[in-house]
Every structure is written in structure tokens, then in C-alpha cells.
Structure 1
Amino acid sequence: MSAVWRASRAAVKRRRLQTFVIGLVVLCSTTTILLGLGLLTAASAPFDKAFSQQRGAHTVAAFDLEKASGAQLAQTSRRPGVEAAAGPFGQAVLEMPKDWLWMSAGSLSVVGRSHPDGPVDHIRLLEGRWATAPGEIVVNWPVAGTPGPGQLGTKLKPRGAPPLTVVGFATSMSKSAGAWVSPEQMAQLRPTTAQMLYRFTNASTEEQLRTGLTTATAQLPAGSLTTAQSYLTLKRAFSAKTDAYLPFMTLFGVLGLLVSVLIVGNVVSGAVVSGHRHIGVLKSLGFTPNQVVAVYLTMVSAPAVIGCAIGTLIGNAVAGPILQVAFSGIETGSASISMSWWPSALCLVGMPALVVLAALIPAMHTHRLSAAQAITAGSAPRTGRGLRIQRRLSGTRLPRAVSLGLGQPFARPGRSLLTMAAIVLGVTTVTLTTGLTSTMVAYGNAGKSDSAARVDVQAGSPANGQTAPKLSDRQTEQRLRSLTGADRVTARALTKVSLAGYTQTVFANFYRGDTQGLASEIVKGHWPAGAGEAVAGPTFLNQHGISVGDRVTIQLNGKQAPVTIVGELMEGNAQALDSNWQTLSRLDPTTEAAEYTVQLAHDADAQSYIEAVKAADPALHPSLRRSDNTATTTVVGFASAFTVLLTVVASLGVFNTVLLNIRERRRDLGMLKSIGMTPRQVMAMTVTSVAALGAVGGLLGIPLGIVAHRLVVDHVGVISFPESMKQVWHLPQLAALILAGVTIAVLGALIPARTAARLTIAKVLHNE
């Protein structure tokens, strides 16, 4: 074994460039695959772990107490298919008239429970204690961490209900309530609904959940079930943003794997062909066929292991920021967001194994050669096919150096195909990244067709210890319009509302004023034009099982308003829908706007306008809106970085091919130079030999890149791209992409071509 190791180490030293290429390709591929696997595990594993630890409810159901008694509901826990159940718990909806604990005014779903434990939905207490007496409340804190010091003891004053003191903060992966009170307090609230929490023996699909709930409630009076929330909906909401990054991460990972296989196969194949004499020497010294194969496999394993280890370290270092972006704004509850250990272990074992398998086929060629055959084989390739094509091309008007170069790829068709395949993947990646960049830039500029600055103005809230504005809501809007530099003003009120038939409350944005910029973000349907109309983003629609044209009922302050979904936004909060002031007037005419967005005129000075707002009313807090293109920057940055790496790697693959061809054809080069071929003609011949492969690779890679781009943009669940953002391909752009393949090939061939051009006749013939 020591002899194999010494021979492999010597082979690595002789082929430093090929060793570097293999290590770089494996490093890039490992990093990308690790990030993709990390996102995949983070999209479900943390939720599943936390949900299991809390014995989360597969279904959170609410029932009308006027139609079903508590005793009847308790009987459902003993129905077939019910693994465990908790309840019935009294449930009520409190209306918070003002912002509280940095949360929006509006509906708050409250459940009466005597303790946080139970057979289903172990509520995790984050801070403080459980509510055990009337006048106390525990608030659900759905994001990581706690609200911070000084929040315990906050007094909540819901409309039409007694004041409540916050004694604790807790979190539930089942999202069974927005807050909890004691059963005694709930009795004072006179609840009209009761909550049941179920775990079913079969709960892996929505159909199984519906079947389990139907069986459990079969003996209840008709119409007693009012709402039902599936844990699968919560799981989809948990992974919504990570799912958006998975398509292109997976695609780049697959491209990296393919390039790894091609480059490794090409390097080992070239090493075997150019090392026939070395193979013969090894066998004549007593190396067995298996040992010779082991030498070549070890030669590629060493850089593969090093590249894989470095790629794993880089992947783990980059995973943290990427996961932070992917889970920003997501209600993670008690789930700990981190990458599992097994993707790193899989990459550390799988990538070197894949490299060895890719090298095994060409390495097995050494197994069949006898020592005599290997020594006498020489290094000159079989040129019959290439020579015939060169002779045919010599009859054309092409320069002789060009015709000779065009015929060279046919001398080694297998090597040429591997090289062209690497170029195809490089062009595919360039095309994909070009399309993604165009799409994401157009998305980032949506609603920003002009270069005018925008100023957000927050109205002071007495509930948060701030001074109330001097003027009324409408007067404040008019005042903002009257200040020098203002062009358009949009007012927004934010509140939490209940949706009939759904357990969780959702945010609702109500707009008035100039909404042209908001309307430009509609990809299907139209912006709300009258009362009873709303729009929402794709994630909200998917999670609630509704689409454009469907109707939902909004509940606020004891009033209901039927709302038709008339449009779909490109992107929207997964927990929010947007409507207009006419709809808000039906629910709560007293609600005032809390935020104003002012679009300034093109020649207006933003800082001067901000100072004018502060001078007009100190209770108004203006700030210049900063563009938030986190998703665009992340996608384009990652895709561009990997494209550069993959393009460099593809060029290095071409470099390796040309270098092998030059070494094999040193005798031919000497003969050509001896009959008058100039160094410039040698360079032209060498570059032409791969430029044709680059042109063909470009033609094949462009359609593959266009298809890959379409697959990615059509499967980004959190963004619904309009067709105009998907149709990013134009004739000049496609023509430039065709040259990308030629550029990759030429870049890879330049250095070895210059080396070939500088070879002297005497040196070539002396070596022969």
C-alpha cells in the first residue's frame, strides 16, 4: 500500500494543475450542495422537532357552543382515529383598540386554559408565569426570543372587556391562540365558541386530517364545527421563504455535480492516455493491475477530499446568514433554526465517493493493459479520423492553421465531448444567471418606475408613550400633501382581523389616497376599486386555500364584511391581505391611519421635506424609505458568484484538454514548425481546436439555460412573477450568450496555446 501511495503522490506532484482543478470543482460543488441540503433540512426539521417536543395539535378546531355542549365535545376525544385530544377550552376574540406591545390593534384570539401542559399542545412558557386568576393574561410570542425587559406587567385594555395584566409570554407551535387566560377569566368573557386540540393516528396528509376530523365530529350536531386549522398549513408557512431559495440552489448544486463528474473523468482519462509509458513502467516494476488503478483513484481522491473539506467549512460558515435571510419575518416559535449535522456528513462522504466513481471508468482502462502494450503504446493519439477531416477541410478556403485546428477535436472524440459538455454546463449557468438577474432586477424595481424619493411618516401613538399628532388623520394627510415637494400621498391603517372559518387572526392593510404604485404590483386581477374588495400575495392565498375570485368574511369589532379577492400581488406578507378605506369604514369607521407614504416630486429634496414634516408636527416621525432588495441581492449575488466559479472551472477543463493535446502532439508541432508554421499560426490552430467546441456548446447551453430559468422562476412560491418579468430574452442578449461558449473555450486555451507557440523545433525533436 505504501508503494501505491508514493506513486500517487508523485502523480499529484506531476499534475498540479489537474489537482487544483479537481479540488476547485469539488469545493464549489460541495458548498452549493451543502447549502441546498441545509435549506432543505431547515425548511422542515426544526418545525418537526419543536412540534414533536410540544406534542403539537394536528388540528385546532373551534365549535359553536350554542350547537354543541362541552360534554359532547369531550366525547370526541374517544372517537376512532383520535390519538390524543385536549379541551374543550373556552375561546373568545378580544378587540384591541390601540397598538400594544408593538403589536397592531385589532382582533386577538384568547383561549382559557388552567395550565400550559396537557396531552396535546404543550405551551412553552418563555418568560413570567401562567395566568391563574382573573385579570391576568399570557401573550403568545411567535418569534425567536422574548419581547425584552420591562414588558411583564403591561396593562391591556380590550374594548368591551375588563383590563388584563400581562403576567407571562409563551409560544405554541400549534398557534392555538394569540393569548391565554384562566378558565375563570374566560367565563367572565362569556365565550360563544370552544376549542378542541386533536392528534390523529394518521396525520401525514390533508386528506387524512380531514378524514380524522370528520370521524371525530361525526356525532356532533350539524354546523357545530366553525373553524379547523391544519398543522400542515403551519408547516408550509414555516418553510415558505426557504422553499423560494431551494429551486435555484438545487439547480446550481446539480450543475456543480455534473461539472465535477465531467472534469474528473476528463482529467483521469487524459492522465491515462498520456501516461501509457508510466503505466507500463509501474507494471514492469511489479504493480498489479488493481494497484495501478488504485494509483489513479488515489491521485484524484486527495484533492477531492481537501476540496470537500474546505467546501464543507465554507458552506457551514455561509449557511448562517442565508438561513437568517430565509427565515426573516417568519413566525418560528420555539423552533431553533440551524443546519442539521447530516448534510455535512453526507457531503464529506458522498463527494469524494462520487469523484472516485467518476474516475473509475477511465482508470479501469489501465487494468487491461499489459506492461509491454503500455510501454510500446507511446503517447501519440490515433489520428486517422482527425487527419481525414483535416484533409477535407484543406480543400476549403479556410486558412491552413484554422482547418488543422478544426480537425483536431475528432482525433479524440471522447475527450472532446467531455470538454464540450463542460462548456455546455458553463453556458447553461451563464444563461440561467443572466435570466435570473434580469427577472430579479425587474422585480426589485416593481413600482419604482421613476427615480422619485419616498418618505414614510409614522404618526405618534399615545399607547406607546408617544405624543399624538396635533391634527386629525385626514388633516394630517392634507398637511403632508401641502408641504413643498410632495407629489403623491398614501395613507395606511394596519389592524388584525379574524377570517370566518379560520382559527388564526391575520393582518389587514387598509389604504386610501394615491395607490397607483401599489396597483403596479398586481400580477393577476386588479387593485381594490370599491368596498368589499381585497388583494393578497401568493403565500397568503396558498396557505388559506383561496384564489382570485373567492370570497372571505372579515370580522372586526363584532362586525363582519364579506370581501372578494380581486387580485394577486407579486409578493405579500403570508399573514396579511390588503384592502381599501371603504372596506375599513364598514368594519370600524373610527380607525385612523398610522402611517403615510409620500412620493416626492422628481426635483424635490428629501431631507428638506423631512425637516418640513418635523416642523409641522413633532408627533410625526418621517424617514426616507430605503430600498429593501434583500431577496434580489441574495439570489443574484449567489448565482453570480457560482457562475463565475463554474465558468472558471469550465475554462480550466478546456485548459486541461488543450494541454493534454499539446503534450500528445509535440512531434506534430515540431514537424509543422519545421515546414514553416509561425508561432501566431500555432496559437490560431490551438485556439480554433476548442473554439468550435465552444460555439457548439453555446448553441446547446442557451436553450438549457432558458429552460432552467423558467423552472426556477415558476417554482418560487413566495413570489408570483408576471409574464413580463419572465420574458427576459432578446436577440442581442442571445447573440452575446452564444459567444459565452467561445469565450470560455478561448480563455481556457490561451495559456497552453502560447506555450505551444513558444516551443522550439530543436526542443520538440530532442524530446521525441
Structure 2
Amino acid sequence: MSAVWRASRAAVKRRRVQTIVIGLVVLCSTMTIVLALSVLNAASSPFDDAFARQRGAHVVATFDAARASPEQLAQSAQRQGVQAAAGPFGQVVIEIPQPWLWMAAGPLQVVGRADPAGPVDRVDLLAGRWATAPGEIVVNSPVGGASSRLLGSKLKVPGVSPLTVVGFATSMSKSAGAWVSPEQMTALHPTSFQMLYRFASAGTSGQIRSELDAVTAGQPASSLTNAQSYFSLKEAFSASADSYLPFMTTFGVLGLLVSVLIVGNVVSGAVVSGYRHIGVLKALGFTPNQVVAVHLGMISVPTVVGSVVGTLAGTVLEQPILKVAFAGIETGTATIETTPWVSLVCLLAMPAVVAIAALIPALRAHRLSAAEAISAGSAPKAGRGLLAQRKLGSTRLPRSVSLGLGQSFARPARATLTMSAVVLGVMTVTLTAGLASSMVAAGNAGRHSGITQVQVEVGDTTAGQSAARPSDSQIEARLRALPGADRVTARAFTKVLLAGNTDTVFLNLYRGDPPAAAEQIVEGRWPSGPGEVTAGPGFLSQHGLAVGDRTTVYLSGRQLGVTVVGKEMLGNAQAMETDWATAAALAPDTSAVEYTVQLAPDTDGEAYAKRVEGIDPSLRTSLRIQPQNTATTTVVTFTTVFTVLLACVSALGVFNTVLLSTRERRRQLGMLKSIGMTPRQVMVMTVTSVAGLGLVGGLIGIPIGIIGHRVLVDHAGVLAFPESMKDVWHAPQLAALVLSGVAIAVLGALIPARSAARLSIATVLHNE
């Protein structure tokens, strides 16, 4: 074994460049796979683990107190299929009159519960204690948002005695916004009852619906008003990360394929170029198995180093990646981090994959006898590619070009592996170019080049109120009347409770000219009347809605059925948009909080802003700076990073191929130089030998990349692309992409080509 190890170390030292190439390939591929697996793991297991710890409710059901009695609801827990149940708990929605703690003014769902434990939905206390007496309340808080210094805060609601915060808690089931004791709930006069169910069969949404139908079959008609499935919570938890998973997984798989192809190519070349070395080893008494072990040992050193460094680098980068992927998501008690198995799997799996890829060509060394290896090591077989070389030589191509093109036919297996690496590289570049074009188009949607916008924010409407102060409608009219105003859009917002959810969502109300969001509708239309709303793909996905669906929103004791009439391209994952007419049914006293004024071309924005100050001193103006599209930035960043990694890996594969070919053909290069071939011609011949493979690889990789782009944009949950943003391929782009394959091949071949051009005849003859 010591002799094998010494021979392996000697081979590593003798082939330093190949060793570095293998190490870099494995490093880049390992890093890519670690990042992909990290997001995949974080999007699934944390929610399931935290939900199981809390015995989360498969369904949080709300029943009308006027139609269902506590006794009837308690009997539903005994029905077949119910694994466990908790309740009934009294429930009421109260209105927070002004911003309180971290919450904006709006509805708050309160549930009466004696303790946080129980067979279902074991609420975790984050700070303080549970509410056990009248006048006490426990508030549902994001993990990390609760602070002991906020204990003792008072919640003052009209018509209700002040409630003192005695604790902060969190529920993975999102069963309530706050909890009080049953005695306090009685004083609040509950309007509904809450039941928490866990079912024996809850693997799919269909099973949960069937189980819930069976449970509520014996209840009074229309008594069930809302039912929240845990699947919607899980989807909301990982909606953002799931949107990025197709991108991450695709590039992770590409990284693995490129690694296998290039490592196989490297080892195959090492075996072929080391035939003489193999013959010498066998002549010295090395057995066939020992020869295989020498080559596997030669590969294992850079592979292990690359795997370790790549795993460490991926582990360092995974936290920033996860932070972006889960931005804005309330995670409850779930910990957004990857488990150690991700790093361990990559650390062990990559060397195993490389060993398998290396074993097949290494077995060729096993079969060779010492005499065959020494005689074969002197030069490639004369018959390989000879016919192709002759046909190319009869053309009008320069001799250096025809010789270079013919080299691909001399080693067809190696040429195929090299071309496969180029195909994957071109496919990646094509994929990224398409995604970048689609994302840039999405980021520019609703933006008007050369048009200035002035943002007008309304100050405190209660301070300094006087008869001389203009009303909401008067402010809008005067903004339109100022010179240079082209379009004026008024916006107000409020927080409402959405049916089947315990968390409040924002409802944006628009008046006047349509906002920029109206230009980003990819399905349906913009709201044109009361009860019509639009939302982005993130909001619709998290709440299980689609265009045409109806739901109910609650605000200040009022409720309104709304219909989703449009799907926005991006939108806010926590907000819906609607027409001002909806305010008449929900919030009649709503006033605009801001106005967006789009100015006519060549209008001085600063001059317009100064004129606005004359309307009312409370108005604050600023020239509109378009907000950065976070989803666009995230996806482009992901794809760019992975594209650079995979393009480098592909170029390294070409580099290795040319390097091996140059070393194998040292005698031929010396002979060509001795009959007059110049260094420049040698360089052209060497580069041409892979440029043809790059061209063919580009022609194959482009359609695969186009198909991959289409699949990814159709499943990008962060954005909903219209058809115009998917059709991004035009003749100039396609021509550039074809050349990208040649560019990858040429870049990988330049350094070995220069080395071959500088090779002197004396050096070759001395080595021979």
C-alpha cells in the first residue's frame, strides 16, 4: 500500500495542472449542490418539525355562535377520523383603534383559552405568562419580536375594559392573533367558536376536506364560517423559497453533471497520457489492481480537497441565500437553517461520484500489459481519424485549421465528453440570458422612461386641523390643476382580516388614474368596481386563491365579499389592490395617505414639488425613485453566480482536454515545427481542435437552454410572466449564444495552445 501511495503522490506532483483542474471542478460543483440542497431542506423540514412539536391543527375551524352550540361542537371531536381535537373556544374580532406594539390599526382576532397546552395546537410562550384572569391578554408575536420590556402594555378598545399584555406567544397553526382567559372572552361577547382538529388521514388537501366534511356533517347548516388548512400555512411558510427552488435545483443538477463529465474526461485523459507510466509501473511489479489504485489515489487527493473547501464555502454562503429566500415570511418557532446532513452528504457524496466516474476509465489501465502500455504510450494509434484528416486536408482550409479539426476524430470518446461539457455550459448561458431578459423586462414593467413622478405624502390629518385646510378631494383636484400634472393617483390603505386566516393583510385602495400596478396584470383585469381585487402570485399562492375566486374580508365589524378579478405580475405578498369604491362598503371615512403624480414630458419635477407646498403645509413631496425589484435582483443574482461557476467548470474541462492532447502530441508537434509550421499556426491548430466542438456544442445547447428557460419561467412563483416576457429570443441573441460555445472552448484552450506554440523542437527530441 505504501508503494501505491508513493506512486499516487508522484503522479499528483507530476500532473499539477490536472490536479488543480480536478480540484476546482469539484469545488465549484460541491458549492452549487450545497446551496441547492440547503434551500430544498429549509423549505420543507423546519415547518414540519415545528408543526409536529406543537401538535399543530390540521384544520382551524370557525363556527357561527348563533347557529352552533358548544355542546354540538364538542361532540364533533368524537367522530370517526378525528385523531385529536381542542375546543370549542370563544372567538371575537376586535378593532385596534391606532397602531399598537408592532401592529397597525385594524382587526385583531382574539380567542378565549384557559391554557396554552392541550391535545392540539400547543402554543409556545415566548415571554411572560399565560392570561388567567380578566383584563389580561397574550399576544401572538413573531419569534424574535417579543420583548419583556413590552409586557404590561395596555390595549384600549372602545367599549372594552383595558387589556394588559402579560405574555407573548406563537402558534404554528396561526390559530389566533391574541388569547385571553375564558372569563374575559365572556365579557367580550364572542360571536363565534373555534375548533382545532387533527385527523388520522391528513396527507393531502383532499383528505383534509373529506375529513372536515365528515366532522361537520352533523352540525347546523351554514354554521361553519371559515376553515384554515395547515397546507395553506405550509405553503405560505415556504412560498418564497419554493419559488427559487426550480432555479437552485436546476443549477445544482447541472453542476453535478458537469462534474461527472469533466472528471471522467480528466481521468480518461490521465490514463491515456500515462500509458507509458502504466507500463513502467507494471514492469516494476505493480499488479493491475495496484495500477487502478494509483490512478484512483491520484484523483482522490484533489477531489477530497475540493469537496472540503466547496462544502465550507457553500455552508458560508447558505445563510445569506436562505435570508433572501425566506425574506418577509413569519416562521413561528421553525428555525430556518439547514441540518448537518446537507454538508455531510455533499462531503461524502462528491468523492464517491468522482470515484465512480474515475473508475471506468481507470479500468482500462487494469487490462493493459506492460508491453502494450509502453508501446501504446509512444503515440496515438495511427488509424484513428486518418480518414477524416485526409478529407479535411483535401479542402481549401488552411493546413493548421484542417489539422486542428481532424484532431476531434482521433479521440472520439474524449471529444464527446468535452463537447458535453460545452453543451452544458452553453445551455447554462442560454438559460441565464433568457432569465435575465425576462427578469429585466419584469423589472421595467410599469416604468416610463424619461417621465418624472412626484410622490406626495399626506401628513398628520388630526394635527392643526382647521376649516381652511383642503379636503381629500380638494387636494387631488388642486394637484391635477398644477401646471405639468399629467396623471394623479390617490392611494389609501387599511388592514383587513381575510376569511380563513388569523393574520391581517393590507388592502390598498386607489382613486383617480390607474396606478402602475394596473399595467402589470398578467391574467384577468384591474378592479373597476366595489368588491373587486387583484393580487400578486405570492399573495394568491399563500392564501390558496386564483383569479375568479371569492373570499370575505372583515374590517371594523363590517364584512364584504370580494372577487379576485386579476393577477399581478409581482405584487406584495401581504397585500391586495382594489378600487376606491370598495372603501364605501368597508371604510367610508378613508382618506388618501399619498398621491402619485406623473408629470408631462419636459416638466420640472422640483418646480412642481414646490408648488405642491402651497396647497397645504402638511403635504410632503419627493421625486419618485422606482423601488428595486427584490425578486428580479434575487433570481438574477442566483443565476449569475451559478452561471459563472458552471461556465468556469466547462472552460476548465476544455482546458484539461487541450492540455492532454498537447502532451500526447508532443512528437507530432515537434515534427510539424521541423518542417516549417510557425508558432502562430500551432496555436491556431490547437484552438481549432476544440473550436469546432464548441460550435457544435452551442448548436445543441441552445435549444435545450431555451426549453429550460420556458419551464423555469412558467414555474417561477415569485413572478407571473406574461407571454411577451417569455418570448425573449431573437436572431442577434441566438447568434451570440452560438458563439458562446466557441468562446468557452477557445478560452479553455488559449493557455495550453500558447504552451504548445512555445514548445521547441529540441525539447521534444530530448524528451523522445
Change (3 A) 1:604 1:161: farther
CA apart distance, 1:706:
0.8
Q: What secondary structure is seen at the aligned counterpart in 2 of 1:223?
A: coil
Aligned to 1:594: 593
Aligned to 1:748: 748
State how 1:117-132 maps to structure 2 within 5 Å.
Answer: 117-132=117-132
Please give the alpha-carbon distance, in whole angstroms, between the structure 1 residues aligned to 2:626 and 2:545. Answer: 32
Change (3 A) 1:166 1:600: farther
Aligned to 1:446: 445
What TM-score, normalized to structure 2? 0.94
Contact map agreement 1:490 1:598 (CA 8 A) in 2: yes
CA apart distance, 1:397:
1.6
CA apart distance, 1:688:
1.5
Cα deviation code 1:60-107 (max 9, x no counterpart): 001122222101111222222222211100111123343333433332
Please give the alpha-carbon distance, in whole angstroms, between the structure 1 residues aligned to 2:4 and 2:705. Answer: 43
Cα deviation code 1:260-314 (max 9, x no counterpart): 1111111111111111111111122222211111111111111111111111111
Cα deviation code 1:694-739 (max 9, x no counterpart): 1100100111111111121111123111111111111000001101
Aligned to 1:311: 310
Counterpart amino acid of residue 237 in structure 2: F
Contact map agreement 2:126 2:146 (CA 8 A) in 1: no
Aligned to 2:628: 628
Change (3 A) 1:607 1:320: farther
State how 1:376-387 maps to structure 2 within 5 Å.
Answer: 376-387=375-386
State how 1:93-108 maps to structure 2 within 5 Å.
Answer: 93-108=93-108
Aligned to 1:669: 669
Aligned to 1:568: 567
Aligned to 2:340: 341
Aligned to 2:491: 492
Contact map agreement 2:94 2:109 (CA 8 A) in 1: yes
Between 1:698-707 and 1:42-51, the stretch displaced more is: 42-51
Cα deviation code 1:14-53 (max 9, x no counterpart): 1111111111111111111111111111112221222122
Please give the alpha-carbon distance, in whole angstroms, between the structure 1 residues aligned to 2:491 and 2:548. Answer: 24
Between 1:288-297 and 1:469-478, the stretch displaced more is: 469-478
Aligned to 2:40: 40
Q: What secondary structure is seen at the aligned counterpart in 2 of 1:78?
A: coil
Contact map agreement 1:22 1:304 (CA 8 A) in 2: yes
Counterpart amino acid of residue 563 in structure 2: T
Change (3 A) 1:231 1:311: same
Counterpart amino acid of residue 289 in structure 2: N
Counterpart amino acid of residue 342 in structure 1: W
Please give the alpha-carbon distance, in whole angstroms, between the structure 2 residues aligned to 1:710 and 1:159. Answer: 55
State how 1:718-733 maps to structure 2 within 5 Å.
Answer: 718-733=718-733
CA apart distance, 1:171:
1.4
State how 1:151-170 maps to structure 2 within 5 Å.
Answer: 151-158=150-157, 161-170=160-169
Aligned to 2:72: 72
Aligned to 1:549: 548
Cα deviation code 1:198-228 (max 9, x no counterpart): 1122222112212322333333233222211
Aligned to 1:237: 236
Identity value in percent: 67
Please give the alpha-carbon distance, in whole angstroms, between the structure 2 residues aligned to 1:36 and 1:157. Answer: 48
Counterpart amino acid of residue 743 in structure 2: T
Aligned to 1:134: 134
Change (3 A) 1:614 1:326: farther
Aligned to 1:198: 197
Q: What secondary structure is seen at the aligned counterpart in 1 of 2:385?
A: helix
Contact map agreement 2:239 2:542 (CA 8 A) in 1: no
Contact map agreement 2:127 2:146 (CA 8 A) in 1: no
Q: What secondary structure is seen at the aligned counterpart in 2 of 1:239?
A: helix
Contact map agreement 1:468 1:619 (CA 8 A) in 2: no
Please give the alpha-carbon distance, in whole angstroms, between the structure 2 residues aligned to 1:113 and 1:468. Answer: 43
Q: What secondary structure is seen at the aligned counterpart in 1 of 2:530?
A: coil
Counterpart amino acid of residue 712 in structure 1: L
Q: What secondary structure is seen at the aligned counterpart in 1 of 2:122?
A: coil
Counterpart amino acid of residue 664 in structure 2: E
CA apart distance, 1:604:
5.8
Aligned to 1:436: 435
Contact map agreement 1:61 1:225 (CA 8 A) in 2: yes
Q: What secondary structure is seen at the aligned counterpart in 1 of 2:508?
A: strand
Count of residue pairs brought into register by the alignment: 765
Change (3 A) 1:154 1:491: farther
Change (3 A) 1:126 1:611: farther
Aligned to 1:407: 406
Contact map agreement 1:461 1:468 (CA 8 A) in 2: no
Please give the alpha-carbon distance, in whole angstroms, between the structure 2 residues aligned to 1:91 and 1:277. Answer: 84
State how 1:338-737 maps to structure 2 within 5 Å.
Answer: 338-454=337-453, 456-460=455-459, 471-478=470-477, 487-500=486-499, 504-599=503-598, 603=602, 619-620=618-619, 625=625, 627-737=627-737
Counterpart amino acid of residue 692 in structure 1: G
Please give the alpha-carbon distance, in whole angstroms, between the structure 2 residues aligned to 1:665 and 1:644. Answer: 31
Cα deviation code 1:95-126 (max 9, x no counterpart): 33433334333322111112222221122222
CA apart distance, 1:501:
5.5
Please give the alpha-carbon distance, in whole angstroms, between the structure 1 residues aligned to 2:384 and 2:282. Answer: 31
Please give the alpha-carbon distance, in whole angstroms, between the structure 2 residues aligned to 1:148 and 1:120. Answer: 26
Change (3 A) 1:613 1:238: farther
Contact map agreement 1:92 1:191 (CA 8 A) in 2: yes
CA apart distance, 1:347:
0.4
Aligned to 1:268: 267
Aligned to 1:250: 249
Counterpart amino acid of residue 364 in structure 2: H
Change (3 A) 1:302 1:461: farther
Aligned to 1:29: 29
CA apart distance, 1:152:
3.7
Between 1:118-127 and 1:554-563, the stretch displaced more is: 554-563
Aligned to 2:18: 18
CA apart distance, 1:158:
3.6
CA apart distance, 1:135:
3.2
Q: What secondary structure is seen at the aligned counterpart in 2 of 1:509?
A: strand
Please give the alpha-carbon distance, in whole angstroms, between the structure 1 residues aligned to 2:441 and 2:380. Answer: 52
Please give the alpha-carbon distance, in whole angstroms, between the structure 2 residues aligned to 1:456 and 1:53. Answer: 47
Q: What secondary structure is seen at the aligned counterpart in 1 of 2:77?
A: helix
Contact map agreement 2:25 2:652 (CA 8 A) in 1: no
Please give the alpha-carbon distance, in whole angstroms, between the structure 1 residues aligned to 2:464 and 2:116. Answer: 38
Counterpart amino acid of residue 227 in structure 2: A
Residue 262 (structure 2) pairs with residue 259 (structure 1): no
Aligned to 1:301: 300
CA apart distance, 1:458:
4.5
Counterpart amino acid of residue 760 in structure 1: S
CA apart distance, 1:487:
4.8
Please give the alpha-carbon distance, in whole angstroms, between the structure 2 residues aligned to 1:613 and 1:179. Answer: 43
CA apart distance, 1:437:
0.9
Change (3 A) 1:35 1:591: same
Change (3 A) 1:2 1:24: same
Contact map agreement 1:132 1:182 (CA 8 A) in 2: yes
CA apart distance, 1:153:
3.8
Q: What secondary structure is seen at the aligned counterpart in 1 of 2:733?
A: helix
Counterpart amino acid of residue 239 in structure 1: S
CA apart distance, 1:559:
2.9
Change (3 A) 1:609 1:183: farther
Aligned to 2:112: 112
Contact map agreement 1:467 1:619 (CA 8 A) in 2: no
Structure 2 portions without partners, runs of 5+: none
Between 1:412-421 and 1:585-594, the stretch displaced more is: 585-594
Counterpart amino acid of residue 11 in structure 2: A
Counterpart amino acid of residue 587 in structure 1: L
Counterpart amino acid of residue 363 in structure 2: M
Cα deviation code 1:420-445 (max 9, x no counterpart): 11111111111111111111111111
Counterpart amino acid of residue 209 in structure 2: R
Contact map agreement 1:68 1:221 (CA 8 A) in 2: yes
